[in-house]
Structure 1
Amino acid sequence: MSTRTLEFVLAIALAGGERRQSSLLRDLFADCASKSAIPTLAYRARKLGIATEFIPMRASYRMLTPVVIDAVELLDALRSGDVRTALWLYSGPCLANSRSPLAIETRELIDTRLTRAVLATGDRAFIEFAATKLDAVELRSGR
């Protein structure tokens, strides 16, 4: 699966399953893409078995296939206060090689929220363990 297709699926999943075409264009391409870029990504997702549809009245794309994405599950775990599950789901920076606005923002969001949540536990051993998985100065210094 291409990185752009992964970004497309992630963007829709982060939005709860539906996202406006204009925000997809902005978040994936910083508004610098052809008109066919988003429909092409939807086509590629469908070829991979991830059903998507365009909703003309809302100018949005919706995923019809349930998709499990670690980044989305991790953020859900943090929202529910389950820091240990969130850390277990963390396997490194989200879309590490991508430079799209969405990927950069999602990486920063996950790293910041996860680091803060780990520190908030106050559990020194857990913080030290988290420091082996997350590259966060705050965890190594215990701040």
Structure 2
Amino acid sequence: MEEISTKNTTLCPSARPEFRETVVFGVISGTVGEPRVTYLKHPQPITDELVAKASPATPTEVFRMATSCVTTACLHFDGQDCRLAKQIAEKLSAVTQELPPCSIRRDCRWWQQEGKTACMRCPQVVTDVYNPSGLAITISKLAAG
């Protein structure tokens, strides 16, 4: 498979498939209550074929995706930082003791902003959660400002 170049781009690790140049960097495993990301060795472009493989679930329930951070065009961006990354780092418990083998880390907004703290929590993050816990709702509200 083709390796995606992410040089000189800050990436949002909570992207949606409809954004231009979106890549899949992980697959959601685990359970609904305790999801875990299995990281891909190399990010892969989101394609119609991958979207179809997610069915009947949505792609954001099955894949973790990244795309260029849109900064001020995002409701989570406060003008300087990603509030979502901050809330994840502050409110979620770490789910790993070692840095996950993430292929987008060097370009990841969350890594650049929150460092290891965000990475230790990232494996439990699912972009779309349809039955969120109270904590997930709180983080979402706080991150939206």
TM-score (norm 1): 0.30
Identify the structure with the greater helix proportion: 1
Larger Rg: 1
TM-score (norm 2): 0.30
